[in-house]
């Protein structure tokens, strides 16, 4: 076992009324990131999608047509709004199946 791993598992993260261990929290983050990555891979230019993302100091939601996807520079453009992949928290569309 790597040095410091045991201490990491004993730390707790509190969110609202729920307390997570570090291991549980990071597992959840990996699962959410994996699902989000799969959904983004299904997005095509011209699709109507809804994206929730972080903008400056708050979360925002936009619905519109995808006008550009740039996997190399990791961003998507919906109408004229350019959104970095790392700022996206949720993607939905009737053309993208939900599920994990």
Cα 98 from Cα 100, distance rounded (Å): 7
pLDDT digit string (tens) for 41-76?
999 999 999 999 998 889 999 999 999 999 899 999
pLDDT at residue 92 greater than cutoff 60: yes
Q: Write down the mean pLDDT value for the chain.
A: 77
Whether the predicted model's global pTM rises above the 0.85 cut: no
Q: What are the residue ranges of helices labelled H in 11-66?
A: 22-42
pLDDT at residue 77 greater than cutoff 80: yes
Q: Could you tell me the domains of the chain? A: 8-92 (2.30.30)
* Beta pairing partners, 78: 66, 81
């Amino acid at each position: 076992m790597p040095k410091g791993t045991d201490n990491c598992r004993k730390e707790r993260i509190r969110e609202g009324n729920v307390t997570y261990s570090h291991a549980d929290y990071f597992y959840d983050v990996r699962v959410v990131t994996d699902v989000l990555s799969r959904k983004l891979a299904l997005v095509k230019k011209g699709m109507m999608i809804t994206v929730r993302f972080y903008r400056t100091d708050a979360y925002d939601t936009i619905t519109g047509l995808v006008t550009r996807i740039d996997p190399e520079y990791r961003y998507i453009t919906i109408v004229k709004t350019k959104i970095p992949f790392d700022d996206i928290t949720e993607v939905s569309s009737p053309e993208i199946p939900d599920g994990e």
